[in-house]
Amino acid sequence: MTTEQSLAYWQAAAADLTIEGRAFINGAYTAAESGETFTCNSPIDGRKLVDVASCDTADVDKTVALARQAFDEGSWANLAPAKRKAVLLRFADLIANHSEELALLETLDMGKPITDALSVDISGTLRAIRWTAEAIDKIYDEVAPTGSDELGLITRQAIGVVAAVVPWNFPLLMASWKIAPALAMGNSVILKPSEKSPLTAIRIAALAFEAGIPAGVFNVLPGFGHTVGQALAVHMDIDTLAFTGSTATAKRLLIAAGESNMKRVWSEAGGKSPNVVFADAPDLDEAAIAAAGAICFNQGEVCTAGSRLLVEDSIADDFIAKVRTAMAAWQPGNPLDPATNVGAIVDEAQLQRVMSYIDKGIEQGANKSVGGKRITAVAGGFYIEPTLFDGVQSAMAIAQEEIFGPVLSVIRFSDEADALRIANDSIFGLAAAVWTSDLSRAHRFARGLKAGSVWVNQYDGGDMTAPFGGFKQSGNGRDKSLHAFDKYSELKATWIKL
């Protein structure tokens, strides 16, 4: 994969791109049963990309029945793990062969910079699928300790039909974290991409089928949350629903599961992650650069965005000045330009949401010292300057609510206890970072943070070997690592009298 192409190269590639908008069901692209579509527009310039199938309950019912049939017939579920691994590795190779096409779809559909789409989203997707595929034939079942006249077996079995509902900010990467372990375990999968960015999910369905995943085992149903998403949530023959998105939606899915068949619901929901900088941080310049990147990367549309910057009083003024300088390097531009590091907000509704929080910050008395304006990087597109608020109090809306945009709230603290209290003063608990040279403080503070991921003297560490998920209202269950397999399997105890 190369990231060295020019703006003209990517614009020409976009002009030549053929985009598929139909659902993928039982091994073939097909229109929605109703024939309904919705328009997919690019946030880069507002232009229409394609009409996308708008699936609903009829499509869900049909697809679940086919997925269940495929599971029961065992064409995938009964394959030896090593054979499923080989197919998933071929799937990854096909994604790699189409990496520029998929990166371009991601950028056109969601607005992220093309360089990030290639180097982060596509490469991360490949890593997720390959790592998961390689792991599946290395997970062993167990034999219980028994007397000589008994044999106790503890085995994992595929759970059945899995629905994966994924967000719009990292459409392909978040999908890969779910579909890879679900497929590797032998399940049938129905992927529901966000209506804001469905195009890469639709495209990889054909690649999965080409790789050898049988018809009915991997399906993609585009549509809206209140139609196809709701139908999946209440369906009586879906065994597991894996979700990444807002906390409000995650709660509704839990209710739907309780009112239907008690399907397992695993969610990675909202975040308001604290990035805590002590005066003894090993390198304040590095910490400031990281703080800027933690809120500006992917336009701040990141569940783990370091949206709360907690700074010790004694260094606050100087450190905030360093952060302002670092943020100056993050400026919105044409996402198809490889030099751009801040792209377009995903759509008009999200842009207005971000702007409303900027207004709230000003109304509630915070000091906006960087950015905060809508700009025209490309005519017809949705662009916001990265924004920094100083003088933020923990009770303010911009410090408590997930904005999902490039808006940084700086909160000052007096000592370690004060910092921990502020860091944990949130309904969320997805991620956090702490910067300090004190080894004992690093361990003590990390232990005290109520967050699923904690990074020390860096922001956004970890790889496929580390589990990812949240505490509190940031969700349950874990993506990535061997722990992800737990979400897509049942444990069975078999006790045999000899």
Per-residue pLDDT 10s for the chain (498 aa) are 444 689 999 999 999 999 999 999 999 999 999 999 999 999 999 999 999 999 999 999 999 999 999 999 999 999 999 999 999 999 999 999 999 999 999 999 999 999 999 999 999 999 999 999 999 999 999 999 999 999 999 999 999 999 999 999 999 999 999 999 999 999 999 999 999 999 999 999 999 999 999 999 999 999 999 999 999 999 999 999 999 999 999 999 999 999 999 999 999 999 999 999 999 999 999 999 999 999 999 999 999 999 999 999 999 999 999 999 999 999 999 999 999 999 999 999 999 999 999 999 999 999 999 999 999 999 999 999 999 999 999 999 999 999 999 999 999 999 999 999 999 999 999 999 999 999 999 999 999 999 999 999 999 999 999 999 999 999 999 999 999 999 999 999 999 999
Task: Tell me the residue type at 339.
Answer: A
- C-alpha closest to that of 265 among 174, 165, 171: 165
d(CA 172, CA 244): 12
Output the pLDDT for position 361: 98
d(CA 472, CA 250): 12
d(CA 261, CA 237): 8
Burial class (CB in 10 A: 0-12, 13-18, 19+), 7: middle
- List beta partners, residue 24: 29, 220
Residue 303 among the catalytic residues: yes
The residue from 106, 268, 402, 416 that is catalytic is 268
d(CA 273, CA 110): 23
Tokens representing residue 430 in the block: 């997805």
The C-alpha angle 452, 456, 461, rounded to 5 degrees, equals 65
Burial class (CB in 10 A: 0-12, 13-18, 19+), 280: middle
Residue 55 among the catalytic residues: no
**Do residues 467 and 340 make contact, with C-beta atoms less than 8 angstroms apart?**
no
Output the pLDDT for position 1: 43
The residue from 40, 55, 296, 303 that is catalytic is 303
Sequence-ordered strand ranges (E) for 230-346: 240-244, 264-268, 274-277, 308-312
Listing from the earlier edge strand, what are the strands of the sheet with 453-456?
A: 367-370, 387-390, 407-413, 308-312, 274-277, 431-435, 453-456
Residue with tokens 């328009």: 39
Tokens representing residue 498 in the block: 């000899």
Q: Please state the pTM of the whole predicted model.
A: 0.96
| Residues ≥6 apart with Cβ < 8 Å to 349 | none
**Do residues 302 and 268 make contact, with C-beta atoms less than 8 angstroms apart?**
no
